[in-house]
Amino acid sequence: MKTLATLFKNNVREYGMLIALIAIMIFFQYKTDGILMKPVNITNLVLQNSYIIIMALGMLLIIISGWIDLSVGSIAAVIGAIASVLMVKLHVHWGLTILISLMIGAVIGAWQGYWVAFVKIPAFIVTLAGMLIFRGLTLVILQGEAIGPFPTQFQKLSSGFIPDIFQHEGFHITTLVIGALLSLILIFMDIRSRRNEQKYGFEVTPFYFFVAKNVVLTGAVMGLCYLMASYKGLPNVLVILSGLVIFYSFITSQTTIGRRIYAMGGNEKAARLSGVNTPRLLFYTFVNMGVLSALAGLIVAARLNTATPKAGVNFELDVIAACFIGGASATGGIGKVIGAVVGAFLIGVMNNGMSIIGIGIDWQQAIKGMVLLLAVFFDVYNKNKSA
């Protein structure tokens, strides 16, 4: 039976940042005199970082493929600008606006994916050009001014909360029910994954650790839902985010297309010789990134209740950092959805905690940069050590 030390060593990429996140939360909970974990602050933390996590899900697939996308912040900005013009100036229904915006995001992703996948221009160059192009188009569309406010229904995309079907005054029972259902889904997926690994003869973690992991995970989910239930319940954006995390976790771990993306990032030539249409697969990852960037842009616009020329500035830095901090490899082929989510929350907790205790934005940027550098160093060190 494996010892805990051996188990951690073999899964250091998966659990290292999760332990770091817990440690940072405990540190800031102490330094902020308990403010960090108050229900209202937890809700704000989710709302402030939801768009980063959404874009990190798409960025993770691109990084696993061995590439990178520098344009996501500008795409989010231009989509927000387009949505504002449609709703405020052209009076298009908010639901139709969302659909049109997501389609435009897919077209933008396809446009960039075409240059990278089929014309073979490096993604760094294509998306750097895209960052400049879509930032410029944002200024053109908005004419240098902010456009808003938006319909109330559209604002609820980011600032709304799910209704309580039990209508219990002072406590949101529906949130606890959803938390319990989500916990069951996560446990079911973990059991299924473990059985598949056993079926094909792969080494699995000891049963006691498997049980302990699910107990801790369930406790974390239910604890978060309890805090939310004592405030206003689950924000709409958290429900969307949870659905996306489950969907992309399933795609990356349980489907053929997910395995092919990992194979392409690990060795593109070998994957192509094995029959994988790598150009088409890479093209689809950029289309997916465009859609998720558009969704993030809509959520940012809904949260601010206005579209501004400065929206999305430096978003790409936090998104890329979330993936690398969460364990994705800079050389491709390695990374997990839960890692990207943990990385995004780690950045969010750091931003929130440092703001509460009064650390200036200048030092915040410097500290985040150092954390990113250490995360990549950690990845390279462990890779060289195991080579």
Least confident of 1-15, 189-203, 206-220: 1-15
Tokens 């369930």, residue located = 218
Q: Which of 182, 293, 296, 186 is nearest to 228 (CA)?
A: 182
Q: Which of 213, 212, 205 is nearest to 338 (CA)?
A: 213
Max alpha carbon distance in the chain (Å)? 66
Q: What is the mean pLDDT of residues 249-265?
A: 90
Residue 215 has pLDDT above 80, yes or no: yes
Confidence bin at 141 (pLDDT 50/70/90): very high
Phi then psi for residue 147, to 5 deg, are -120, 130
User: What pLDDT, in 10s, does the model give residues 360-378?
Assistant: 888 888 888 888 787 777 7
Q: What is the mean pLDDT of residues 18-47?
A: 86
User: What pLDDT, in 10s, does the model give residues 169-188?
Assistant: 778 889 889 889 888 988 88
Cα of 186 vs its chain's centroid, Å: 18
Cα of 144 vs its chain's centroid, Å: 29
Share of the chain above pLDDT 70, in %: 94
Collapsing DSSP to helix, strand or coil, 143 comes out as coil
Least confident of 100-109, 356-365, 372-381: 372-381
Q: For residues 43, 103, 326 and 253, what is the CA-based torsion angle, rounded to 10 degrees?
A: 110
8 A C-beta contact, residue 271 and residue 47: no
8 A C-beta contact, residue 53 and residue 241: yes
Phi then psi for residue 161, to 5 deg, are -125, 150
Residue 295 has pLDDT above 80, yes or no: yes
User: What pLDDT, in 10s, does the model give residues 32-42?
Assistant: 888 888 888 88
Per-residue CA distances from 195 to 183, 189, 367 (Å): 18, 10, 41
Q: What is the mean pLDDT of residues 62-75?
A: 94
Distance CA 142, CA 139 (A): 5
Sequence spans of domains, the chain: 17-38+47-150+256-380
Distance CA 134, CA 141 (A): 10
Least confident of 92-101, 103-112, 189-198, 333-342: 189-198
Q: What is the mean pLDDT of residues 288-292?
A: 96
